[in-house]
Chain A
């Protein structure tokens, strides 16, 4: 380690340089995102198989969902991704306070998303659209396809909602740190990584929406 320059405070002891550390952080995040994608891929594959086996019932079931809510949620997430990207841009310019505000707006979008989902789920429970052995919804015929559709629906949207919550937590923590001035124009990689995670959460929903709502 050369003793001419002072090591920046964020440089961890085992890295040669901040640049290498940031490169490692980004690579690590992309790999982690890949594992998240594979998690959902397993569920999508299951959905795909049953969509093929029970195609009529699944198509009908999609039509019995509130497509307008799904569409609204999609738009909300897209907007929130946009504000996250803007927040990252502000962080790169050293403006931590703006990052905080933009991230908090995205968190708010997340809250609205969850509210819509809560409304949707409550409505489903009333109708008897419950998973597995609790399924009592009449309108999809007497075959097992309806129960399977809703089991998968809750698993996929539930897992996604869990990730939305995780994303909101990450954005809040990083947002607060940005406001406290922890990130500089040289070092804002955590903001980048938080942004990447939120974009993934959005991206997954962009696959979920057409797959489940648009039949």
Chain B
């Protein structure tokens, strides 16, 4: 704990770590440890941690509903519940997973924690707005859960009219819950955009930004532009359901397909809100574990913006068989292809990053490999759907279900897990068990394959979505899918268990256990309250491993360097 000569000479404060390398004076104890210090916190790191806890709980709830679905589908007829219950269960699975997990998980969880740190800033631009976003998330979740507890809704998460405006189930609380969470999403996106524009530390030009920031930034742009539209749409459905105002009800002269246009205008960009942050994480993970700069920095950075931009013009591919003209269909089909190109660019660049790298097969890297594989299949099946004639057969069948689960679970959840394992040492200062990590990763990847590949085949066979009962010929594949889901669930439970164990009892990780040159590894683990004592000055981009870098001293076997 003796200060080194360098820090004494500069006369500045230094962060003192204990003999294991754990920084005791970190954000978890400062400014306090009581409940109130957490409830009123303005620290982006604490808000990020609260989000991570919240979305994990949401994931568990959504996952529970998923297992109920797979349980019911074990037999062709009724298995454990009746049709109405089943319809509510799959609706809630969708609503909880999408609004309470997929959309906030990486941006509001890891984004909140790491965006300011990677920018060399002390906090986001509007810390109080950030706390408000968190409370809006909780409020929206509470309203939606209230609706769930009182029976929930049976419309599917897509709320298609006129079914959603004429059903007797509790649609309005679920709609309102989603509406409130929408504002949480908008304010977070707004915060991140302003932070990225105005709070970069000296020397951090746009061309030196970590790719994680580029991805979060692109996500934030979508969030602020698309979410207001769906907010309005859901409000219209709630009003129509409650008061019969007939905007989408054909019996009152309304147009039900107009609802689909409004809904998908948001919900298609929303899926890019879900995937871009995961891609952003993977850009960091692949560089860290290949110890290598990203192959095409500009390509990866701009393709994030490209996905965000073009993604706004593809919503019509959800309406190919809704009676719209073939010309409309064609335009949307071609534009959807372009989004596929941006994804392809990323896939090739990530793969090429491994060239001449120094690759370590750790748990985060295992999730990268899973991510890549599932993104290629999920993405290609998306392009296949966009060829129009194939979509006529596949629309509203299990093929589409498999396609989006490949992306949402296969890619985004893998990205989330990669982030969790990569950044747990930074967030908590402790390391998880690598052995268990790899075991769980293998189970998750295998379980995932067994859950969703049968669903591609079910879709080919013609099994429609949201089916409570099904003809016997679909039985075997459904059983296979449920078996796979059980393995997947078990793998995820294992992750939960060893993560909790690691947080409490894990070995101290030290400042930079991965020896990564992402900017966030410059701070101690866990980071201090204000991230840095003074803003660092950046002289180059992240993840450059060609030479010595004084900000990332080579690790020795002796205790950690004592100052930053």
Contacts and interface: CB of A to CB of B under 8 A. Distances in A.
Contact of B127 (A14, A43, A54, A133): A14
A4 to B, nearest CB: 15
B353 to A, nearest CB: 33
A31 B224 contact: yes
Q: Classify chain B: how many residues form its interface, as a range.
A: 35 or more
Contacts of A39: 228-229, 231-232
B136 to A, nearest CB: 14
Given A31-B194, A32-B190, A132-B244, A13 B232 contact: no
B227 interface: yes
Interface string A137-176: 0000001110110011001000000000000000000000
B154 interface: no
A35 B185 CA distance: 12
Interface in A19-68: 20, 23-24, 27-28, 31-32, 34-36, 38-39, 41-43, 45-46, 49-50, 53-54
Contacts of A148: 246-247, 252-254
Interface of A: 1, 12-16, 20, 23-24, 27-28, 31-32, 34-36, 38-39, 41-43, 45-46, 49-50, 53-54, 131-134, 143-145, 147-148, 151-152, 155
Contacts, number: 109
Contacts of A27: 193-194, 197-198
A152 to B, nearest CB: 7
Interface in B255-306: 255, 258, 262
Contacts of A131: 243, 245-246
Contacts of A12: 127
A132 B258 contact: no
A43 B262 CA distance: 10
B236 interface: yes
Interface stretch (B106-114, B117-125, B142-150): B117-125
B536 interface: no
Contacts of B224: 31, 34-35
Contacts of B199: 14-15, 20, 24
Contacts of B530: 13-14
A133 B228 contact: no
Given A14-B122, A49-B258, A132-B244, A24 B252 contact: no
Nearest to B249: A132
Contact of B232 (A14, A43, A53, A134): A43
> A-side binding surface: helix, strand, loop or mixed?
helix
Interface of B: 116, 121-127, 129, 186, 190-191, 193-195, 197-199, 224-225, 227-229, 231-233, 236, 239-240, 243-247, 252-255, 258, 262, 530, 534-535
A15 B42 CA distance: 14
Contact of A151 (B186, B245, B535): B245
A35 B228 contact: yes
A45 B261 CA distance: 11
Given A132-B246, A148-B246, 18 more contacts: A13-B123, A14-B123, A23-B198, A24-B195, A28-B126, A28-B194, A34-B224, A39-B229, A41-B229, A42-B233, A46-B262, A131-B246, A132-B244, A133-B245, A145-B253, A148-B247, A151-B245, A155-B245
Contacts of B244: 132-134
Contacts of A147: 246, 252-253
B225 A16 contact: no
Nearest to B123: A14
A155 B239 contact: yes
A56 to B, nearest CB: 13
Contacts of B186: 35
**9 closest Cβ pairs, A-B complex:** A144-B253, A132-B245, A133-B244, A14-B123, A42-B232, A14-B122, A38-B228, A24-B198, A39-B228
Give the most central of B193, B228, B236, B255: most A CB within 10 Å: B228
B47 to A, nearest CB: 13
B234 to A, nearest CB: 10
22 contacts: A13-B123, A14-B116, A14-B530, A20-B199, A24-B195, A24-B198, A28-B129, A34-B225, A38-B228, A39-B231, A41-B229, A53-B255, A131-B243, A131-B246, A133-B246, A143-B253, A144-B246, A144-B253, A147-B246, A152-B247, A155-B236, A155-B239
Give the most central of A1, A31, A41: most B CB within 10 Å: A31
Contacts of B123: 13-14
